[in-house]
Structures are given as structure tokens and as C-alpha cells.
Amino acid sequence: MSVLVYAEHDNAALNKATLSVIAAAKEIGGDITVLVAGKGCGAVAEEAAKAEGVAKVLCADNDAYEHQLAENIGELVAEVAADYSHVLAAATTTGKNFAPRAAALLDVAQISEISDVVDADTFKRPIYAGNAIATVKCADAKKVITVRPTSFDPVAAEGGSASVESLDVVKDSGLSSFVGEELAKSDRPELASAEIVISGGRGMGNGDNFEILYKVADKLGAAVGASRAAVDAGFVPNDMQVGQTGKIVAPNLYVAVGISGAIQHLAGMKDSKVIVAINKDEEAPIFQVADYGLVADLFEAVPELDSKL
């Protein structure tokens, strides 16, 4: 067995989600190779080489891979996959974009968003927004898998000393091109990997009111998230959405403020270690999953919390 892990990065640094994917690869077993594709991504390859359990890093550095376009990455991965029994990527918007494309080119199934490795052919994954957990077995000779990063404890980022080889394979389909991006800029930790997350829902009333959450977040070193209702209402941008169709988070502490607790939202945060809910409606479903509930007006409770931290 041999596992190819696709590295998630921004051409400058390795995304922590990749360390969780490597952890899943270790559970499968066999040699682990990390594929870093990007432009000017040498530092990422060096970083990946230090991760625990990695035997080899392949670095495909080319203009065609700069923006992770699925058409090019899909073809690259499908070709490199020839030497491996398993291909793993993080279930992020990057992994979800190219991995099914690579699987189809290889004429194999993809197993999406696994949360557990049973054996080399058998995996667990949430279905129906996490309301059921399926154990699935794949008959294909090669397995293409996306991994839910929050379900696997990341391997150590340091200590390894894998070799880095440059990979001279250029796949440029010419079918798609990058036009631009609007990325959220924030000094706060990244939502998907933060130790503490504080999220606001429809009860926040408007986007300006999120300011009170930012204050608390900055005191706690927390990331700020939101429910789908708050994003749909235009309070905050989509990249803050926690839920089945947004980001899946599992921090040590999740504070839900003015969030009722729709199934859709719970699917994205119920694996958090400790959940706190602040809501004025004592009947809100969020209290059924909260370790600590506070029935209160958030506009009084949150500033008070801020003053007492």
C-alpha cells in the first residue's frame, strides 16, 4: 500500500488541514507521499517534508497550478496516482473541487469526507447532514478519498525529514482561467482550525452587531463564525458560515450566540469539545447540544462576558 496526500496551501504555507489528512493516511498504512502543486511553492514542499510520517514530497511547481484550477490539478493527480493505492485530499473547497474530477479520470469512485478509517478499503462517513453515519467499503483498486480534517488529530508539523523531488509534469487544459478572488483578511485564527470559535446567528440583527463578537474573540484568540441564517441575511460573508454546507469545525470551545440550532448548523459544529449557547429563547434547539446554556439577551450577555474575561 502507498498513499498519496494532496497538500492544501496558498503557495506560501502548508494548510494545517493537510496534517490531519496525513493522520488519516497513517491509519490506512503504507508509505506516505505528499504532492505539492502550485507556483513558487517550494517553501510549502519543505514544510510538508518536515511533517511526521511523510516519506517523500513531490513538488509540481508551474504557472498552471498557481490557482488550483480543478481542470489542471485533476489531470495532474490522476496521472501521479498511477503509483499509489490511495489518493487523499482534505474535504475543503479545493479538495472537493478537483478530487472527484481525478477519480472520474481514473474511472474509480470517490469516497467523500471520511470521518474514520476502519481498514484500507472501509471507511466511515457522515450522510444526511450528519444525521447518520455510513460505513462504506470500496471495491475499486484505487481509492480516491476526501478527509474531514476535524475528524483526525493532525500529525506533528515538525520532526520529519522526507526527501523533496521536483515533479516535471505540466497539465494545462486551457479550458479555464483564474479571473480574481476576494479573500477575507483577518488577524484572527482560521475558522476551520481555531481552538475557540464564537459564532453569531440571526439573533445578531445585523452585520454591525457582530462587532461585539469580534471583541470577545480577540480577547480569547478565537475565530468568528456565523450560521447560515446570518450569512443568507447578508450580515457577514459566506466564508464565515459554519454548517453542513459551510465549514465543519470542532474546536475546544464553541460559543453559539443568537443561533437557534438548525440541523444544518449543528452538522457543522456538534463535534466541538465544549459548546456554549447564549440565546434568549429557552426552547431553542441549540440548548439540547450545549454543555453550558445561558438564557439571556445576547446584547447584554456578550458585552458582560467581554468585560469579565
Footprint of other proteins on 136-165 (CB under 8 A): 136-140
- If binding is defined by CB under 8 A, does position 73 make contact with other proteins? no
- If binding is defined by CB under 8 A, does position 86 make contact with other proteins? no
Contact 103, 21 (CB under 8 A): no
Question: Given candidates 206, 273, 281, 297, which one binds other proteins under the rule CB under 8 A?
Answer: 273
What are 132's three cell numbers? 447518520
Question: Given candidates 28, 45, 102, 250, which one binds other proteins under the rule CB under 8 A?
Answer: 102
Residues 30-49 that bind other proteins (CB under 8 A): none
Distances (CA, A) of 300 to 25, 111, 203, 296, 297: 47, 46, 13, 8, 6
SS3 143: strand
* Contact region with other proteins (CB under 8 A), list: 28-36, 50-58, 160-168, 281-289: 281-289
Taking the alpha carbons at both ends of the chain, their separation in whole angstroms is: 50
- If binding is defined by CB under 8 A, does position 82 make contact with other proteins? no
Contact 221, 253 (CB under 8 A): no
Cα–Cα distance for residue pair 126/136, rounded to 1 Å: 10
The nearest distance, CB 105 to other proteins, in angstroms, is 5
Question: Given candidates 156, 238, 281, 297, which one binds other proteins under the rule CB under 8 A?
Answer: 238
* Contact region with other proteins (CB under 8 A), list: 19-27, 81-89, 124-132, 202-210: 124-132
What are 113's three cell numbers? 469526507
Cα–Cα distance for residue pair 196/272, rounded to 1 Å: 9
* Contact region with other proteins (CB under 8 A), list: 41-49, 56-64, 134-142, 200-208: 134-142
Residue among 163 and 245 whose Cβ is closer to other proteins: 245
Binding residues with other proteins: total (CB under 8 A): 88
Cα–Cα distance for residue pair 75/79, rounded to 1 Å: 6
Question: Given candidates 188, 239, 280, 299, which one binds other proteins under the rule CB under 8 A?
Answer: 239
Look at strands 56-61 and 223-226 and give their pairing.
unpaired
- If binding is defined by CB under 8 A, does position 129 make contact with other proteins? yes
Residues 169-188 that bind other proteins (CB under 8 A): 173-184
* Residues pairing with 3 in the sheet: 32, 86
Question: Given candidates 36, 48, 81, 305, which one binds other proteins under the rule CB under 8 A?
Answer: 305
Residue among 5 and 196 whose Cβ is closer to other proteins: 196
Question: Given candidates 1, 134, 156, 170, which one binds other proteins under the rule CB under 8 A?
Answer: 134
The nearest distance, CB 99 to other proteins, in angstroms, is 8
* Residues pairing with 165 in the sheet: 58
Amino acid at 173: S
- If binding is defined by CB under 8 A, does position 16 make contact with other proteins? no
* Contact region with other proteins (CB under 8 A), list: 44-52, 54-62, 86-94, 158-166: 86-94
Contact 6, 86 (CB under 8 A): no
Contact 158, 200 (CB under 8 A): no
